[in-house]
Amino acid sequence: MSDHDPRPPASLVTVTLNPALDVSTSVEVVVPDHKLRCERATREPGGGGVNVARVASRLGVSVRAVVVAGGASGEQVIDLAAGEGLPMTPIRVAGETRQSLSVTERSSGRQYRFVLPGPSVGAEVVDAVGVALDADPSIGCVVFSGSLPPGLAAEALVALVGSVIAAPVIVDTSGPALQHALGTAATVIKPSARELAAVVGRQLLTETDVLTAAEEVLDSSSVGALLVSIGAGGAFLLRSDEPTVRLRPPTVQVASAVGAGDSMVGGLATGLCQGQDLLSAAKLGIAAGSAAVMTPGSGLCTASVVEELLPLVTVGSPTLVT
């Protein structure tokens, strides 16, 4: 960052290679072959790293979101983020940033989610992201979150993670990108149980199955830790040099699961930026994820609810799994 840049250094920098314009609405009943009259839609800046930055900002961390954006949807993402006071470094590309549509069926409470593909990008984006990361010499934490856009090989994520030298790195992705990220020296990777099943190539029907698979993956990886989310059951935290623990969230009223994973990563990143140890940061992540499911639509967690829930997160031995 130059001496003339008025922005303070960011404690947290998030990278979103495939952001989204999140559109959410509701309808009384979802039926085929009919026009469905929806409620007025809300639009929010979205994609993994964008949401992580939004959460961390709410929790008091200085943040900057690096996003690959294109077209009118990309400009809406940038404008909406600016409206929230979220500092953003856009890397503009040809094509149109994807849209994600969430429709809640009011009669049942079920939620339907439709995600369009993002624009195809080239390897030049990797260089541009690297330059953006170099702009903050005293980053407290870097988060790579979300899917890869079409045209970008999974090896690109490996190069980006490897370019971060002095800060903890969190990776939250899926598919081939997740497979490749496990070969990096990332501080912590946060797969869901479903994403973990894809890595090991088998169904994980019980929590014991999840834990066994996570141990296999960590043992064969180069990363420091795994935080494996298991939905309403919380998460397993596996570290290469510490005993594995089970984190259990408090029981809350669920309004929407959208944004829970990003809120968890946002809480985790906040804790690391604040100098907490990994277990304490993971507890903050669980509280943030629990707070997110209490909000309707694509709403994220709020700081006051996270503060209320944090003391209710419990830590125990994974041997208690049945």
φ, ψ (nearest 5 deg) of residue 132: -65, -40
Band (204; pLDDT cuts 50, 70, 90): very high
pLDDT at 172 exceeding the cut of 50: yes
**Residue 159: pLDDT over 90:** yes
CA distance 290 to 152: 33
Looking at residue 3, its pLDDT comes to 39
Other beta carbons less than 10 A from residue 69's beta carbon: 27
Residue 156 lies in a domain: yes
**Mean pLDDT on 252-268:** 87
- Establish if 5 belongs to a structural domain: no
- The values of phi and psi at residue 300, to 5°, are -100, -175
pLDDT at 152: 92
Q: Please give the pLDDT value at position 139.
A: 87
pLDDT on residue 319: 61
Flag whether 159 is in a domain.
yes
Average pLDDT, the chain: 91
Residue 31 included in any domain: yes
* The two three-digit tokens of residue 140, written as one number: 């407290």
The verdict on residue 2 lying in a domain is: no
Predicted confidence (pLDDT) at residue 314 exceeds the cutoff of 70: yes
pLDDT for residue 322: 46
pLDDT band at 141 (very low <50, low <70, confident <90, very high): very high
Residue 8: count of CB within 10 angstroms of its CB: 11
Residue 248 β-bridge partners: 314
The catalytic site residues sit at 262
Tens digit of each residue's pLDDT (9 = 90 or more) over 62-110: 999 999 999 999 999 999 999 999 999 999 999 999 999 989 999 998 8
pLDDT of residue 9 exceeding 70 = no
Residue 3 maps to a domain: no
Q: How many helices (H) and strands (E) does the chain have?
A: 10, 14
Range of the domain at 147: 12-320
Residue 232 is predicted with a pLDDT of 86
Interhelix angle for 155-163 vs 124-134, to 10°? 20
Place of tokens 């490996």: 158
Q: What is the pLDDT of residue 254?
A: 80
Confidence category of residue 257, pLDDT binned at 50, 70, 90: confident
Q: What is the CATH number of the domain that holds 295?
A: 3.40.1190.20
**Mean of pLDDT values over 197-205:** 96
State residue 44's pLDDT score.
93
Cα–Cα–Cα angle for 255, 63, 47, rounded to 5 degrees: 45
pLDDT on residue 321: 44
| 39-53, 117-131, 209-223, 253-267: least confidently modelled range | 253-267
Number of domains in the chain: 1
| Mean pLDDT in residue range 42-62 | 95
Mean pLDDT, rounded, for 169-178: 96
Please report which confidence band the pLDDT of residue 320 belongs to, taking 50, 70 and 90 as the band edges: very low
pLDDT category at 10 given cuts 50, 70, 90 is: low
Is 140 a member of any domain?
Answer: yes
> Is the pLDDT at 287 greater than 80, yes or no?
yes
Is 274 within a domain? yes
| % residues pLDDT > 70 (the chain) | 95
User: What is the spatial distance between Cα 36 and Cα 204, in angstroms, rounded to a whole number?
Assistant: 37
